A and B are shown apart, each in its own frame.
Chain A
Amino acid sequence: MKRADRISSLVIIGISAFFMVEAKTFSPLSGLFPRVAIFLLGGLSLLLFILTFVRRDSGETFDSASFRHIPSLISLLLMIVWGILIPVLGFLVTSLIFFPLITLYLDRDAPGKKKLSRIAIVEVLAITFYLFFTQVLYVPFPEGLLL
């Protein structure tokens, strides 16, 4: 974790510096608490950075035991695209597209019949939740080009 600690502490120090520069425009009392938080964050991150040179390394760069990186990153990407497209296509349409898409991607090695039954299940789930929230709880989900 030594390298991960070094990278994360440098990133956090960078964030602290950025927030500090921005804090200069605040009025005295509005800027007081942000400065306290920035000093705490920056100071503690600096301590973590220094400790990476002092402590012994545990070996791993990141905590990655039995972790499949590619499926998880592709799924994360699909989820982000799902979220971004909601205002464009609408909540229902994006859910009907991306929910089965992720299931299909994760089930890519499954037999065809199983895939079909799972797609049917997730589509029914998406529609049920959509109807429950819009018709019972009156949550106005975003509508898009189609619905």
Chain B
Amino acid sequence: MEQEREWLQQALRGDTEAFGLLVQAYERPVYNLAYRMLGNAAEAEDAAQETFLRAYTKLATYQPERKFVNWLLSIASHYCIDRLRKSQRAPQVSLEDPLPPQWLTSDAPRPDQEVSKKQSRDLVRKMLDRLPDVYRAAVVLRYWYGLSYSEIAETMGTTESAIKSRLHRARRMLAQDLQSARA
């Protein structure tokens, strides 16, 4: 934390090398969020880079009482949602596309037991792609970052009750998704 504070102060004085160290420290969480939101590596790379550029130009507005990584995630999630809305991109996966079938029969083994990692990754990506943008962001921040409802609300600029509702609806959609794939 002390090191991070020092890098931040140097970056605030225009030291791009210090900012580069902050990029190295947080590239993984920012990239992961962009990847989960946008669904492909090339767009995730571009969005993650743009997130850091925006962070650099807005660094003076960062409030130190807030976790720096959460501030970065906030920029990244807003940017990704804007990007998806501007491109008005349809889900990359059609709702008619079947989900990977291997573990979707009622007597099939659980995914953590048998299904290959690649199949699990594909399944997660497809399930996420089917969710509306704001639900997807809430799910990603909850599962990959373990943020509390209040932290997700702060990151997404909304209320805790809205997050509670989004997670509830998102999980219901995910359950229905699995159900229809089985049927």
**Chain B associates with chain A:** no
Q: Which residues of A contact B (CB under 8 A)?
A: none
Q: Which residues of B contact A (CB under 8 A)?
A: none
